[in-house]
Amino acid sequence: MVKVQKEALATERSKVVPSEFGEFIAQNKEMVYQKLCEYMPSGDPKDFNNKMVRAYPDSKGQYRRPSYLLLWTLLYGGNLDDAILPAAIQQLSEDYFLIHDDWMDKNAWRRGRPSEHVLFGEEYAILAGDTLHAILWKMAKDAMLALGGKRGNFYFDKVYDIMMKTHQGQYYDLRLTNEVKDITKFSLEDYYQSIWAKSGYYTVCGPMQCGAIIGGADEKELEKMYAYGIPVGKAFQIKDDILDASSTVEILGKTIGTDVMESTKTLILLHAVQNAPTPVLNKLKKIYAKPREKKTDAEVQYVLRMFKELGSLDYAQKESERLAQEAIENFNKLSRNIKEGPIKRLARDSIANVAKRKK
């Protein structure tokens, strides 16, 4: 009876299409979360299963990634009921990645509360993340079987590709951070290679493609989607970098200035390097050459202030908006065979949203 009620609710929600992507996320968030909860372990060891493993899933992220999957399922004529489990998988992948990412980047704050490794210690945090990773593949198998046949296999292979690409992207990011100490020695190509693999693919384009698969799209159609998926994925990460350098813990729910503390190479930094007068550039180089534990808060604040004064934040914002607009134009060209309507307009809004968002 409960299953029937959930399926009826999912079907009913698919009929009510909001005009803004944020509303669409809110509309489906609880349904996706409840499906994710069905796979959470119970029983002994209770402290581990109920607290450590569930800490990030229960803190609930923005649910942007699963929402792209749901929306693109509808865009390609699919059934929302078929997409709930894949959407939950998309969200669980975020929870898993963030536990490890927060530990590697030494982020102390996530979603308005202390990070997993701060709450429970590094060893337990890594173990909890690995457990979520194991659960994810159980869910992916179930989704593959539920979708069935060629569509199920196609979906499973796409999940694998997203996961592999994201791990490789983390490698690119760590290599840029750890091996390129001189901030004048990284390029725009280095930056884009890192952000596309680490976040652009798994945050935006990958979920869109998963949704399209659920809706019945073939390999040829998925290849076309890169024309708008790549620029919107890049636009998303550039905006993420802007927020890290300009927002607040209260708004963003996580540590601010992490990219400076970790010496992460960003488009903002690249612009600052190219436009800073020599004394400022020398100071920036000195700060970025220091390990995190040797940087002072005053130095981090100096860098953030220079980003603003040099126009680097404004430059990055314009680039994020330009890429989002490029993505919209390509989406319009490639989706001419999809009838104009509320779903398509919402899809278009979800692309524009990446450059306008506040968190």
Q: How confident is the model at residue 329 (pLDDT cuts 50, 70, 90)?
A: very high
Q: What is the pLDDT of residue 2?
A: 43
For residue 69, being part of any structural domain is answered with yes
CA distances from 161 to 157, 258, 302 (A): 6, 28, 40
CA distances from 184 to 239, 249, 289, 308 (A): 22, 30, 11, 19
Q: What is the pLDDT of residue 256?
A: 84
> pLDDT of 143-170, one tens digit each?
999 999 999 999 999 999 999 999 999 9
> pLDDT of 273-286, one tens digit each?
999 999 999 999 99
128: Cβ contacts below 8 Å, ≥ 6 apart? 48, 52, 53, 55, 56, 99, 116, 120
pLDDT at 30 over 60: yes
For residue 325, being part of any structural domain is answered with yes
Instruction: Find the CATH number of the domain harbouring 313.
Output: 1.10.600.10
Tokens of 16: 């009510």
For residue 6, being part of any structural domain is answered with no
pLDDT at 55 over 80: yes
For residue 12, being part of any structural domain is answered with no
For residue 7, being part of any structural domain is answered with no
Residue 111, sorted as left (phi over 0), alpha (psi -120 to 50) or beta, turns out to be: left
Residue 121, sorted as left (phi over 0), alpha (psi -120 to 50) or beta, turns out to be: left
- Round to whole Å and give the CA distance between 66 and 204: 9
For residue 251, being part of any structural domain is answered with yes
Residue range(s) defining the domain that contains residue 142: 18-356
Q: How many domains does the chain have?
A: 1
For residue 4, being part of any structural domain is answered with no
pLDDT at 19 over 90: no
130: Cβ contacts below 8 Å, ≥ 6 apart? none
Q: How confident is the model at residue 10 (pLDDT cuts 50, 70, 90)?
A: very low
Question: Residues 353, 251, 245, CA angle at the centre, nearest 5°?
Answer: 80
For residue 66, being part of any structural domain is answered with yes
Q: Can you tell me whether residue 16 is helix, strand or coil?
A: coil
> pLDDT of 82-115, one tens digit each?
999 999 999 999 999 999 999 988 888 888 889 9
Note the pTM of the prediction, 2 decimals.
0.91
